[in-house]
Amino acid sequence: MDPSPETGADRGRPAPASSGRVAIDVLSAIALPVLIAGGIFLAPFLRDPTQMPFGADTVGYVWRSSVVQADGVSALEDVVRSLGARPLQPVVAAIFLGSTEQAALVWAIVSPAVLAAIIALAAGAVATDGLGEHRRRSLVYGVGVGSSAFVAWTAYAYAANLTLDPMALGLVLVASLVAFGSARRLAGVLLLLGAALAHYLFAVVIVGLLLLFGVLLLAAERRFRGPDRPPDGAARRVLTMLGAGVAAAVGGIALSPQLPTRVPTISVEGPFTQLKTSSRLPQMALWATVPLAALGGWLRIRTGTSMTRWMTALLLVWASMAPISVLAWYVLEVPLPPYRWAAFALPVPLLVVAAALALGEPLRRSGVAIGKIAAGALAAVVAGALAAAGAAVWWNAGSEIDRAMFAELGTVANYARTIPAETPVVLVTRRNQPTETPDRILAALPADVIERFSVLPTAVDRTRDDLGIQAPEGAAILWISTLGQPEPLPGVGLGPGVVLVAGPPPGEPVVPGELPRAPPAGRLVLLASFALIGLGVAGSGWAGLAGVPAIGRIALAPTFGLALLGSLGTLGSRLGIPFTRLGSLGLVLVTAAAGWVVDLGLRRSRGGERAVPPRRITGSPV
């Protein structure tokens, strides 16, 4: 087979490419995956601007983003359920909010599309710069992974996990490239730092995967002979990268507003977890995708080169989390909810696409035009099926956020700003509210007034003058229609659905809160594009540490942007840099400039870590 000069794995000196070929590669590897994956996740809000962001936990992420943007990351230190040990997501959100001066709800609308596009780009880079596929095949890999139900269910409620996903893909790629001498260990260190700040629990899983990878490489160096033996020093490079990455991660977590104190507990018998499992697993179709992923991995190992085989083995170990979580949940009754852990197994859809391409290879090699068309169609159908499942999840998900509640709480917040700042404000709800509801209500309040509020579930006694409400003396007591009390309580109306039951009258007319809505379609697309380009700019220099060709560097730049902008943003906020427009844009530019300085400095430095010329890996031209 003739080597393809445009495969990411061929990191010698690629043959000159025509501008037309480069344009097609950029279209396939960058533009189309972003448009398709991002478009799927942005479509519901383009179609209906009154649609609220999806996911029951989203309102909490909205509040965290708002409070960090207003008061810095330190504001999460002593707040219950603030997830202060996972600061990267709200910091990146705060930088977006500060740069654009948008409401936090806008980031909740835009971020799933932006992160799905980044995952699509990272998946394409894994396939081309790691597995040796032709650059144009990035399209089916990016669409198949970035638009899949695996990503859609993560986007539905787990913003921190979704932020970590592209860094996990990038770490698998970088670890493989480090092992085979074409990436700098610093790249993996920085990605691991970002992953730990995004979600420390899943970062520990990634550390375990990379540790196993390094140990297997060490054993192979000592025992293997022939083409499957990794290059000398492969294990040492991976393990030293991992050790430095863990040290950096520990340092980053020490800078976080809160330290990890416990592993979240989930009841196997809990009704909500049972419902989530039964409703989310079918769209991932693990009964089909896991066997196909195993087939794709086997075919890549059987026909690939040394680096391809080793990287595929690492992807297969990661993919095994999907069936392991199902077995642990249903058979062993171990609390590893498959709706969460299977969704994290992104190599499953990636290797499903690899299986489709490998099965179509004999048709492509036949030399008959119809065979090449059939091979391309097979890959397109498989990637399209994965994307269709993700679109079905996302477009039918619906929101659990009440628009009216946001408007009513806006009225309440405007009232609170007119009374003395020391006055506590109590929101009355029905007695049988779920235990997590008060947190979600408070999370919907603006950051500048939230500390004054509390939620009081109570049974109202209308025969008593005080209605049976046991509120602090002098508190302002309010009823709003969306909090579950069946009838309005007596008092002074402040706006639609809001009654002041007791407390100081407003010092000035109260402005009613507005029903939130997405920006107009054109502006929403511009905001999503701004966020993606901003992350790409921030990571453009750092992505050079991965040692991949220019298109691969562009594809990986937003992933490195997430890791570095989130990490440096956390540090900057702890040092007092505000997330204003100037501060936020300054962080983006400083992160970008630092990346280019480090990359160019290491390239020119004779004493720095030098990349070892890798073994050539042949690709399969389309």
Q: Residue holding tokens 């690899």?
A: 354
In sequence order, which residues have a C-beta less than 8 Å from that of residue 610 and are 6 or more positions away? Answer: none
For the record, the structure tokens of 86 come out as 């996972």
The C-alpha angle 25, 30, 31, rounded to 5 degrees, equals: 100
On whether the CB atoms of residues 245 and 192 are closer than 8 A, the answer is yes
Residues 445-465 have a mean pLDDT of 75
The pLDDT confidence band at residue 619, using thresholds 50, 70 and 90, is very low
Note the helical H segments in 53-137: 58-71, 88-100, 104-125
pLDDT in tens, 291-346: 999 999 999 998 878 889 999 999 999 999 999 988 887 887 777 788 888 999 99
Angle at which helices 159-179 and 149-157 pack, to 10 degrees?
Answer: 130
Kindly list the distances between the CA atom of residue 557 and the CA atoms of 106, 121, 543, in Å, as whole numbers in the listed order: 23, 9, 5
What's the residue count for the chain? 622
Residue 16 confidence (pLDDT) above 70? no
For the record, the structure tokens of 393 come out as 């999840």
For the record, the structure tokens of 523 come out as 């502006």
Percent helix, strand and coil across the chain, each to the nearest 5: 65, 5, 30
Residues 522-544 have a mean pLDDT of 96
Kind of pairing between the strands at 476-480 and 425-429? parallel
The C-alpha angle 608, 612, 618, rounded to 5 degrees, equals: 145
- Of 227, 427, 392, give the one whose Cα is nearest residue 307: 227
Measure the CA–CA gap between 597 and 466, rounded to whole angstroms: 66
Q: How many other C-beta atoms can be found within 10 angstroms of the C-beta atom of residue 369?
A: 8
Percentage of the chain surpassing pLDDT 70? 88
pLDDT in tens, 226-275: 777 888 889 999 999 999 999 999 999 998 888 887 666 555 555 556 66
**119 burial type by CB count under 10 A (0-12 exposed, 13-18 middle, 19+ buried):** buried
Measure the CA–CA gap between 574 and 568, rounded to whole angstroms: 10
Element (H, E) at 500: strand 498-502
Residues 444-451 have a mean pLDDT of 76
The pLDDT confidence band at residue 393, using thresholds 50, 70 and 90, is very high
Among 32-36, 225-229, 298-302, 484-488, which stretch is predicted with the lowest mean pLDDT?
484-488
DSSP labels, 384-449: HHHHHHHHHHHHTT-----HHHHHHHHHHHHHHTTS-TT--EEEEE-TT--TTHHHHHHHTS-TTT
Q: How many other C-beta atoms can be found within 10 angstroms of the C-beta atom of residue 270?
A: 14
Query: What pLDDT was estimated at residue 608?
Result: 45
Element (H, E) at 455: strand 453-457
pLDDT in tens, 201-221: 999 999 999 999 999 999 988
Query: What pLDDT was estimated at residue 115?
Result: 97
Residue 436 confidence (pLDDT) above 50? no
The DSSP 8-state label assigned to residue 79 in this structure reads: -
Angle at which helices 159-179 and 185-198 pack, to 10 degrees?
Answer: 160
pLDDT in tens, 119-169: 999 999 999 999 999 999 999 999 999 999 999 999 987 899 999 999 999
Residue 187 confidence (pLDDT) above 90? yes
The DSSP 8-state label assigned to residue 6 in this structure reads: T
Query: What pLDDT was estimated at residue 609?
Result: 45
Residue 5 confidence (pLDDT) above 70? no
Q: How many other C-beta atoms can be found within 10 angstroms of the C-beta atom of residue 542?
A: 28
On whether the CB atoms of residues 509 and 536 are closer than 8 A, the answer is no
Q: How many other C-beta atoms can be found within 10 angstroms of the C-beta atom of residue 160?
A: 23
Phi and psi based region of residue 386 (left: phi greater than 0; alpha: psi -120 to 50; beta: remaining)? alpha
Note the helical H segments in 427-541: 437-443, 521-539
Residues 397-410 have a mean pLDDT of 85
Residue 9 confidence (pLDDT) above 70? no
Residue 93 confidence (pLDDT) above 70? yes
Measure the CA–CA gap between 270 and 268, rounded to whole angstroms: 6
**84 burial type by CB count under 10 A (0-12 exposed, 13-18 middle, 19+ buried):** buried
For the record, the structure tokens of 620 come out as 């399969």
